[in-house]
Amino acid sequence: MTVKKGDFVELEFVGKIKETGEIFDTTDPKIAKDAGILKKNTVYRPLVVVVGKGQLIPGVDEALIGMKENEEKSIEVPPEKGFGKRDPKLVKLIPITELRKRGIKPKVGMRVTIDNAVGRIVNITGGRVRIDFNHPLAGKHLKLDLKVKKIIKDDKEKIKGIISMYYPNAKLEDINVEIKDGTVSIEVDDTFKFDNRPHSNITLTQARIAKEIWDNIEGVKRVEFISAFEKTKAKSTT
């Protein structure tokens, strides 16, 4: 059984910049730690992806097709199949006063968000700040070690995988998924219940998860998110 477009897979990877060998991302906490890029408060586990749907850079999406479960593969990815070529027009000169107005004290190397675009300060000269809004990996040739940990066949597992795309730290074992007559019911756990973002944001995230589910799982017409309260449990907390 090999990976086809639309398959759900558990993917393990190590991503390096070809030129320098620098590791920019990985699913392996040990490698991340050794590379000095271990993220705090982050659950490290294989990434669940739907293959060939643009969730990954094109080079990886293509490489996965035809791989077997537990197969490993090392690939090289040029910029055009990675994070794109560098666009010189995305390097902008902005007056320092403009940044100060926005409460930013510019320093070289600092990441700044201006009009929803994220950039990195390249240099500061004569009252002007040069900011590079290209993706940090744009223009880079990459080397990736890939492993298809699993091809997911079970619909409940696929759904949990989709949830993990939006909630990377979710305790998937505590989320109860039921499928019946085209309706998917997802009972969320306390991590979700005590999310402090505005409720309307949660609704939008839920709508995206729902769309991802019916776009990728045959026969689903309705997705329900359930927040449940049990009599005995509630008594113990009041």
Give 175's contacts (C-beta < 8 A, 6+ positions apart).
160, 163, 186, 187, 188, 189
Sign of CA dihedral 141, 146, 152, 157: negative
Q: Least Å distance between CB 50 and its own copies?
A: 17
Look at strands 117-125 and 111-114 and give their pairing: antiparallel
Q: Is 49 within 8 Å of 56 (Cβ atoms)?
A: yes
Sign of CA dihedral 212, 216, 217, 221: positive
Q: Least Å distance between CB 181 and its own copies?
A: 13
Token pair of 2, please? 């090999």
Give the nearer residue to its own copies in terms of CB position, either 173 or 230. 230
| Distance, CA of 186 to CA of 182 (rounded, Å) | 13
Binding site for its own copies (CB under 8 A): 187, 192-203, 206-207, 210-211, 214, 220-231, 234, 237-238
| Distance, CA of 67 to CA of 3 (rounded, Å) | 5
Give the nearer residue to its own copies in terms of CB position, either 1 or 234. 234
Nearest Cα residue to 63 out of 75, 53, 54, 71: 75
Q: Least Å distance between CB 118 and its own copies?
A: 25
Q: Least Å distance between CB 194 and its own copies?
A: 5
Q: Least Å distance between CB 202 and its own copies?
A: 5
Give the nearer residue to its own copies in terms of CB position, either 20 or 194. 194
Q: Least Å distance between CB 185 and its own copies?
A: 8
Specify the 3-state DSSP secondary structure of 207. Answer: helix
Residue 213: Cβ within 10 Å count? 21
Give the nearer residue to its own copies in terms of CB position, either 116 or 238. 238
Give the nearer residue to its own copies in terms of CB position, either 87 or 224. 224
Give the nearer residue to its own copies in terms of CB position, either 43 or 228. 228
- Cα 101 to chain centroid distance, Å, stands at 32
